[in-house]
Amino acid sequence: MGSHRFLPNTLQDRDDILQACGVKSVEDLLVGIPAEVRFKGTLENGPALSEMEIRKRIHALTRGSRHAQGGRSFLGAGVYEHFCPAVVNQLTLRGEFLTSYTPYQPEMSQGTLQVLFEFQTMVADLFGMEVSNASHYDGSTSFAEAALMAARLSKGRARVLVSRGVHPEYFDVMKTYVANIGIELVPVPLDNKGQTSQAALKSLLAGDGVAAVMCQSPNFFGCVEDQETLAGLAKGAGAVFVTNVAEPLSLGLLKPPGAYGADIATGEGQSFGVPPSFGGPFVGLFTSRMEYVRQMPGRLCGETVDAKGRRAFTLTLSTREQHIRREKATSNICTNQNLFALWATIWLSMVGKEGFKEMAHQNFSKAEYAKDAILKTGKATLRYSSPTFNEFTVDVPSGAAAFAKACVARGVAPGVALSRFDPNDETGLLVCVTELKSRAELDELAALFKALA
C-alpha cells in the first residue's frame, strides 16, 4: 500500500521515523507483542475506496429510504420530526466544536463550556427544575439512571413503581440496568382513560419499601397524565417522584415537572430539532432538585472565574464521577452527549421563547385537527379520552399493521402499529402530527383511513 489520504506520513517519512527510533522496520516496534498472539492473516475489510466510490455505494444502499422515495410519516413514539433551521447544521459543523474533546482543560474549551452552561440553563428552565446536567446518552438511559439515583436517595428501599405509560423500550432499558443491583421494577397499569391508574398506584404504595414512582407525560400512548396527583401519592408514601418528558416541546403548553413536584425529571432532547437519524445519536436530558445534585449522574458545568477574575466556566463536582471515584461513582457514564447538547442549544436559541410556544401550539392544533378528521371517517376510534399533545392512539378495527402496510404502499407511514410492542394489540395505531405537516397532508391521512382502514 502506498500513501493514503488520511495519513500524512509518506513512505519517506516512515523511513525517517524508523531511523529516528533506531530500528529497521515496523516489525521491530512490535516486539512487545508475543508471536503467539500476533494476527497472521490480513483484515478482510475490503479494498480502500475513494470518496467517489463511497458516495456511490451509500447512494445505492439508501435508494429505497423514505427520503429517496419521497415518503411521508406520522411516526412519533419517542422520536419526533421537527423543523430545524439551516443554522443548526452549519454551526455544528464548525471544527472547533465538532473535533474537540471533553473540556478537561477549561482554558482551551471555554466555547464548549459556555454552551453547556447555556444548555443546562435552558433545560432546567423548560422543565421548571433547579438543575440540569450537561446531558446524557439519550432519554432511555437518562430515565434508567434516574431509577438508580432515586434508589440512592431513598436508602434501603428497593422497589421502583413504573407506569405502563412509559415508553416500552425505556422500560426495557431500565430492566437491564437494574438486573444486577437488587432493584425491583413493578409496573403500574393504565386506567381506561389511558392514564396511570391511581387506584393501582395507591395499593402498590401501601406496601413498604417503594423507592420511587416513575411516570411519563405525555405518556407513550400520547395521554397527558395527572402528574400533580401522582406526585402527591408518591410523596405521601415517602417515595421519590420521577417523571420523563419524551416530547419536551409539550412543555411549551404543559405544566413543567418542577411545577408539579417532580424530584427528578428526565427527557429526550431529540425533540429540539435533532434529526431522527434512525434512532440516534440523540441527547438525554436529566434534571433534579438542587438538594440532590451530588447524587446526579453525568457531567455538570459551573460558572467560576479565571486568574484575572473574569467569568469562566468549568466542569465541576467531578468527585461524583468515575474518573475520580471509580467504583463509588454515581454512574459509569464518562462524557456527556456534547455535540447534540450543542445542537439542542442552538436550536432552542433560534426557536426562542415565542417560537417555542408557537411551535408547541401548532403541534397541538394540527394533532387535534388530524384526530377529528380521522374519527370523522368512521374507520377508527379514539382509544383513550385523556387530553393529548401531538400524538394519540386510535383503534383500527380492521387491523393496524395491515392498514399501515397498505398506506406505506402509497408512500405514507400513518403511525406506529402498537403490535410492534405488544403482539396482542392488533388494532392500536399511535399517530403523531407535528408542525411539519400541512392541512392538505392531514386531509390526505384521513383519506387513507377512509380508503384503506
Which residues, 328 to 367, sit near other proteins by CB under 8 A?
328-329, 331-340, 342, 345-346, 348-359, 361-362, 364-366
- Residue nearer to other proteins on the CB measure, 202 or 325: 325
Under rule CB under 8 A, which residues in 149-168 are in contact with other proteins? 167
Min dist. Cβ of residue 192 to other proteins (A): 19
Please choose, out of 52-60, 157-165, 187-195, 203-211, the segment that lies near other proteins by the rule CB under 8 A. Answer: 52-60
Q: Is 261 in the site for other proteins (CB under 8 A)?
A: no
Under rule CB under 8 A, which residues in 184-223 are in contact with other proteins? none
Specify the residue for cell string 392498514. 403
Closest-CA residue to 374 (of 295, 441, 275, 276): 441
Min dist. Cβ of residue 288 to other proteins (A): 11
Under rule CB under 8 A, which residues in 406-435 are in contact with other proteins? 408, 413, 416, 420, 435
Q: Can you list the pairs that 396-403 forms with residues at least 24 positions away whose Cβ atoms lie under 8 Å?
A: 396/427, 396/429, 396/449, 396/453, 397/427, 398/453, 399/426, 399/427, 400/425, 400/426, 400/427, 400/428, 400/429, 401/426, 403/429, 403/449, 403/452, 403/453
Min dist. Cβ of residue 206 to other proteins (A): 27
Please choose, out of 82-90, 157-165, 200-208, 230-238, the segment that lies near other proteins by the rule CB under 8 A. Answer: 82-90
Dist. CA 267–CA 140, nearest whole Å: 8
Q: Which of 405, 410, 425, 444 binds other proteins (CB under 8 A)?
A: 405
- Residue nearer to other proteins on the CB measure, 63 or 155: 63
Dist. CA 347–CA 26, nearest whole Å: 48
Dist. CA 143–CA 285, nearest whole Å: 9
Task: Cell numbers for 48, please give them.
Answer: 480502500
Under rule CB under 8 A, which residues in 287-326 are in contact with other proteins? 290, 293, 299-308, 310, 312-314, 316-317, 319, 321-326
Task: Cell numbers for 384, please give them.
Answer: 383513550
Min dist. Cβ of residue 247 to other proteins (A): 14
Under rule CB under 8 A, which residues in 10-29 are in contact with other proteins? 13-14, 16-18, 20-22, 26, 29
x/- mask, other proteins, residues 92-111, rule CB under 8 A, reads: -xxxxxxxxxxx-xxxxxxx
- Residue nearer to other proteins on the CB measure, 53 or 202: 53
B/e letters for 397-414, b = 16+ CB within 10 Å, e = fewer, are: eebbbebbebbeeeebbb
Please choose, out of 4-12, 149-157, 197-205, 236-244, the segment that lies near other proteins by the rule CB under 8 A. Answer: 4-12
Phi, psi of 215 (to 5 degrees): -130, 175
Under rule CB under 8 A, which residues in 220-259 are in contact with other proteins? 224, 226-227, 251-256, 259
Closest-CA residue to 257 (of 146, 183, 175, 171): 146
- Residue nearer to other proteins on the CB measure, 238 or 361: 361
Work out the burial of residue 353: count CB atoms within 10 Å of its CB; fewer than 13 is exposed, 13-18 middle, 19 or more buried: exposed
Q: Give the CA-trace dihedral at 167, 170, 176, 179, to 10 degrees.
A: -70
